[in-house]
């Protein structure tokens, strides 16, 4: 049975980082915001490593102290390669603009709940365990959304504007049939939490570590509760070789990386192991009449540079301005949404150039370079901290980094050809793999 309609100005689908951020911002501006989350916080989620450019966003939301309470400080990133002798540590303080030189590693269940409760505290109406099941866009009148709660009760909600922050559910993208596998990249991941992993020592204890291995790369993310998030991002063809349960497959995959095995020799797996497939996708557009898509609801590439949460939250800040402008000046909506789309496509575009090449010999050599500091390296670190929207002062040096990459690729034709063939194999059409919990 469907209850009578309720209404709101802005309906936000999803209570993750993107949804909670835009709900808080719009509610602060006096908008009637209703945010629907299909689960109940706290709930498990992957993506625990944040970027320094998240920090000013936390301050603007008023959650800086809460993030400090739940996080462990991340000052940089360690890269470990089986074809290079010594690990390399990149210090975020060496970025072109080091105003924000640290970030946090967080448990996403805690992190997401802080942002969700903050949205409520700012005045947004929030409902958990409520799933959006259908939507109908009305001519010049917003949209009518159908929902179902945990008791199975349906409801219709009419909204002037809809924000899709549904993450990998990609609600609107699926609704419009505009979600596509990324034709330039494809990866899968398997991950879990370990107790007793050997971390780096001293002030770099909270740094993320990246370990390359034959089939992709591992992340090693220390958490404030003493556990460590360990995950492998692999080529899909490798994931399709799995013949054991996910727990054993993760342990067998770790065994392929001796450097990581050493760090985990006294560690114990203390969580369920989760596997995801078809990691990379892209939507045809990020907005339309009376709606926008934020964060992973629009696109996801790969977690190698920890860009997901930052891009989600940044899209929410841009989205809040866009929604305000569309509601206040409907005749300007097309121009406003065109500008919003530029923001949505720019960040993934910058990160993706590096992500697509992360396993190539030339990229490894550049990331593992241990020579003197240079403007080129400072430009690279600026990308790693998330400073991708201004690029003040370092755009030329980032271009020089790319020139060096292509020069190194040409100087190793055999290795580059093998990497190209592997990449082509990885992005060919594959059956979408189910998420295993």
In angstroms, what CA-CA distances link 234 with 19, 184, 375, 402? 29, 15, 32, 24
Q: Where are the domains of the chain?
A: 2-71+108-182+282-353, 72-105+186-279+358-437
Residue 3 has a pLDDT of 55
Q: Which two tokens stand for residue 218?
A: 């591992």
Q: Tell me if 2-71+108-182+282-353 shares its fold with 72-105+186-279+358-437.
A: no
Residue 182 has a pLDDT of 79
The alpha carbon of 186 is separated from its chain's Cα centroid by a whole number of angstroms, namely 15
Pairing state of beta strands 143-149 and 154-164?
antiparallel
Query: Span 2-71+108-182+282-353: which CATH code?
Result: 3.50.50.60
Residues 6+ apart with CB under 8 A from 178: 283, 284, 285
Q: How many Å apart are CA 193 and CA 95, to the nearest integer?
A: 30
Residue 45 has a pLDDT of 84
Q: What is the pTM of this model?
A: 0.93
Residue 278 has a pLDDT of 61
CATH class of 72-105+186-279+358-437: alpha beta
Residue 83 has a pLDDT of 87
In angstroms, what CA-CA distances link 121 with 22, 62, 109, 145, 310? 13, 11, 18, 25, 22
Q: How many Å apart are CA 370 and CA 116, to the nearest integer?
A: 42
Q: How many Å apart are CA 270 and CA 400, to the nearest integer?
A: 44
Per-residue pLDDT tens, the chain, 437 aa: give them: 445 579 999 999 999 999 999 999 999 999 999 999 999 999 988 889 999 999 999 999 999 999 999 999 999 999 999 989 899 999 999 999 999 999 999 999 999 999 999 999 999 999 999 999 999 999 877 999 999 999 999 999 999 999 999 999 999 999 999 998 877 777 889 999 999 999 999 999 999 999 999 999 999 999 999 999 999 998 888 888 889 999 999 999 999 999 999 999 999 999 999 988 766 889 999 999 999 999 999 998 877 778 999 999 999 999 999 999 999 999 999 999 999 999 999 999 999 999 888 888 899 999 998 877 789 999 999 999 999 997 678 999 999 999 999 999 998 888 777 777 776 666 654 544 443 33
Q: How many Å apart are CA 271 and CA 419, to the nearest integer?
A: 34
In angstroms, what CA-CA distances link 208 with 77, 217, 304, 399? 5, 13, 10, 26
* Among 377, 428, 422, residue whose Cα is nearest residue 96: 377
Q: How many Å apart are CA 104 and CA 264, to the nearest integer?
A: 22
Residue 1 has a pLDDT of 44
Q: Which two tokens stand for residue 43?
A: 């709930």
Q: How many Å apart are CA 193 and CA 271, to the nearest integer?
A: 5
């Amino acid at each position: 049975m469907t209850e009578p309609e309720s209404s709101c100005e802005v309906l936000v689908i999803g209570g993750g980082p993107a949804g909670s951020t835009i709900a808080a911002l719009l509610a602060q501006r006096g908008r009637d915001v209703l945010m629907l989350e299909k689960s109940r916080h706290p709930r498990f989620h992957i993506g625990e490593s944040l970027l320094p450019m998240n920090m000013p966003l936390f301050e603007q939301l008023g959650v800086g102290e809460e993030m400090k309470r739940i996080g462990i400080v991340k000052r940089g990133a360690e890269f470990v390669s089986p074809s290079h002798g010594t690990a390399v540590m990149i210090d975020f303080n060496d970025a072109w603009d080091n105003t924000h030189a640290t970030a946090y590693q967080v448990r996403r269940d805690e992190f997401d709940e802080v942002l969700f409760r903050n949205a409520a505290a700012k005045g947004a109406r929030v409902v958990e365990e409520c799933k959006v099941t259908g939507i109908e866009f009305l001519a010049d009148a917003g949209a009518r959304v159908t929902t179902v709660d945990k008791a199975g009760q349906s409801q219709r909600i009419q909204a002037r504007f809809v924000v899709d922050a549904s993450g990998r559910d990609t609600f609107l993208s699926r609704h419009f049939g505009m979600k596509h596998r990324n034709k330039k990249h494809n990866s899968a991941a398997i991950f879990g939490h370990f107790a007793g992993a050997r971390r780096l020592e001293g002030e770099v204890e909270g740094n993320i570590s990246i370990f390359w291995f034959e089939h992709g790369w591992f992340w090693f993310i220390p958490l404030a509760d003493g556990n460590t998030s360990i995950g492998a991002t692999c080529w899909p063809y490798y994931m399709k070789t799995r013949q054991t349960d996910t727990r054993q497959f993760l342990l067998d995959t770790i065994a392929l990386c001796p450097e990581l095995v050493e760090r985990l020799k006294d560690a114990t797996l203390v969580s369920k192991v989760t596997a995801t497939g078809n990691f990379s996708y892209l939507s045809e557009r990020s907005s339309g009449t009376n709606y926008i898509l934020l964060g992973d609801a629009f696109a996801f590439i790969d977690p190698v540079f920890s860009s997901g949460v930052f891009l989600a939250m940044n899209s929410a800040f841009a989205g809040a301005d866009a929604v305000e402008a569309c509601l206040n000046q409907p005749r300007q909506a097309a121009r406003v949404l065109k500008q919003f789309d530029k923001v949505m496509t720019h960040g993934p575009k910058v990160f993706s150039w590096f992500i697509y090449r992360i396993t190539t010999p030339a990229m490894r050599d550049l990331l593992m370079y241990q020579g003197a500091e240079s403007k080129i390296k400072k430009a690279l670190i600026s990308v790693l901290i998330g400073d991708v929207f201004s690029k003040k002062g370092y755009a030329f040096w980032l271009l020089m980094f790319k020139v060096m990459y292509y020069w190194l690729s040409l100087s190793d034709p055999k290795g580059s050809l093998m990497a190209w063939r592997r990449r082509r194999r990885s992005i060919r059409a594959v059956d979408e793999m189910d998420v295993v919990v």
